[in-house]
Structure 1
């Protein structure tokens, strides 16, 4: 029997505390909300993958601080960079394509959807996926192959050669 998604109540209960700390770290409402959402999504993915976290609140607070530090490092301008940094807005077509792909992933059978969500969250090693899901590596590989084929069909994409 497939395992159900993690219960969201414990994560929802953490939101006020996470928002308060994020607001103190970022000093901006929008950035604090983004930071909290990133952390909650990562926690949800870990819990969905079967991770056992003894103290969810402490783990979430540490993850929040680490995520904030990572964002600060990403935002730093390297020495010798030009004075003017150009920014580009996300391409609307890319955003639509991503949204369409995520809807297609949600339409997959539950076992394939779970694997594709782990891949989307950055877990790409079949051995790690097998360890996280408790499946045999061969089973992971075949389910991913079926999921990718179904996504290509669903999205009207052609298989590309290596």
Structure 2
């Protein structure tokens, strides 16, 4: 492995891990995905098109691998032995306001469509340009912009919604 390759790939690894964790919502599966992505990037280093910025190319590899895994996972049920569950997933989160906002954000992200969530994560969290995000996803820039706009709007509505307001009866003034 050349030092040029290492210098190009190494700074991208933390961002790849963040994106993989956001997509898969499982730390060990995300780490496995990043490992597979890095193996593929190293083995196909000669196939990259842009010599200067490898970030979009590596993110495209990770995204494609993640979508393949998610498709396969949706086709078969998940089996978790009861003994492996333990008490951790059943425990309540911390009552601090930041933790609650974080939980609401994750819940809001999970309610977005896969297309909207991936665009939102690539542009806002990973700070890819619209053009780079379009290359990663294989869609036109206009599609990235419209998906991002819809994702931001829907996430804002989900985050600012008062859950009690939906079940509360509305009163009308009768004159």
Q: TM-score range by the shorter chain?
A: 0.3 to 0.5
> Which structure: larger Rg?
2
The structure in which a higher percent of residues are helix is 2
TM-score, structure 1 normalization: 0.42
